[in-house]
A = this chain, B = another copy of it.
């Protein structure tokens, strides 16, 4: 089972390696040569070595996906969507987990090693160091998430502002006027954007009482811990907007333990519309941020940039859609159809 090289195939077919290569790659060659080479290759069990091809061609046919936390359902959904596009285009997908902010910088720097032709990066925190590394990146790169507006990169992002507006408007329409926002860590990109969105959305309404708490993490446990003191008081809010579904489920658990009835005494909403939101009772009203669409868009954008390195930077914004469930409404569940996504070219100059 030792490695079979194209030299052996050529020898067996009685032609030069060049002819063998051409025949195998469907380039110009006589029918007879093609037949001989094909046969020889089959008999020997030849498969071209990917590394040698990469070195010669200058492309690896590999793309990378770097994400802070594999295991988070949202990133998994994106990953699955990315994998679909990537493998359909003949590329392989490389996965890296970038726990800390600095390790995502490392990943970007490491791109110089040339083991991928492009990278999709989903950073949890955007530091100046990371922006500098991005600007210096030697290969195409798409950022999944919000960047400073000044940065000219290909980007796919959710619309947190609209998302929070959908949620707040829905709660206000349902008669809730005392709304608490339970965020995750505010120094993360999603934390920052959702906070901003909540504030802007609340500002649209008169006579609203709002409060803000940061859970220590985007998890059920952190959501529970943050909600407990918030809900265990006489002047507790009548609605809680959680920054993601996990926190939202934590809030539901806290309410349950405190004997607070949802939605009668308290409405709760989440963000991301994960399977959890659907499975929990009462079902958790949530805004779908379009993880699948974002993943697909990012992968397609990366392929487009690889195909045309000169094209201007694009920013695709995936619109959110509200899915109403029992945690915020006594009536039947409903969902809005997702609007079309928005693709903008970055003006140059």
Contact = CB atoms under 8 A, between A and B. Distances in A.
B92 A115 contact: yes
A112 B45 contact: yes
Contact of A94 (B52, B71, B93): B93
Contacts of A113: 47-50
A246 to B, nearest CB: 9
Contacts of A280: 279-281
B49 A114 contact: yes
A21 to B, nearest CB: 15
A87 B97 contact: yes
A340 to B, nearest CB: 25
A113 B45 CA distance: 11
A80 interface: yes
A113 B76 CA distance: 28
A80 B275 CA distance: 19
Contacts of A141: none
A80 B87 contact: no
Interface size class of A (residues with CB under 8 A): 35 or more
A79 B77 CA distance: 14
Contacts of A276: 275-276, 279
A95 interface: yes
Given A112-B47, A275-B276, A76 B70 contact: yes
> Counting chain B CB atoms within 10 Å of each CB, which of A1, A70, A249 scores highest?
A70
Interface in A253-294: 256, 275-276, 279-281
A1 B136 contact: yes
Contacts of A96: 83, 87, 92-93
Contacts of A47: 110, 112-113
A55 B54 CA distance: 9
A57 to B, nearest CB: 10
A60 interface: yes
A50 B115 contact: yes
A241 interface: no
A203 to B, nearest CB: 33
Contacts of A95: 79, 83, 93-95
A47 to B, nearest CB: 4
A159 to B, nearest CB: 24
A110 to B, nearest CB: 8
A185 interface: no
B94 A92 contact: yes
A318 interface: no
A71 B77 contact: yes
A312 interface: no
Interface in A90-121: 92-97, 110, 112-115
A138 interface: yes
Interface of A: 1, 3, 45, 47-52, 54-55, 60, 62, 70-71, 73, 76-77, 79-80, 83-84, 87, 92-97, 110, 112-115, 136, 138, 220, 249, 256, 275-276, 279-281
Given A47-B112, A51-B54, A70-B83, 16 more contacts: A48-B113, A49-B55, A51-B60, A51-B114, A51-B115, A71-B77, A92-B115, A93-B94, A220-B279, A249-B279, A256-B281, A276-B276, A279-B279, A279-B280, A280-B281, A281-B281
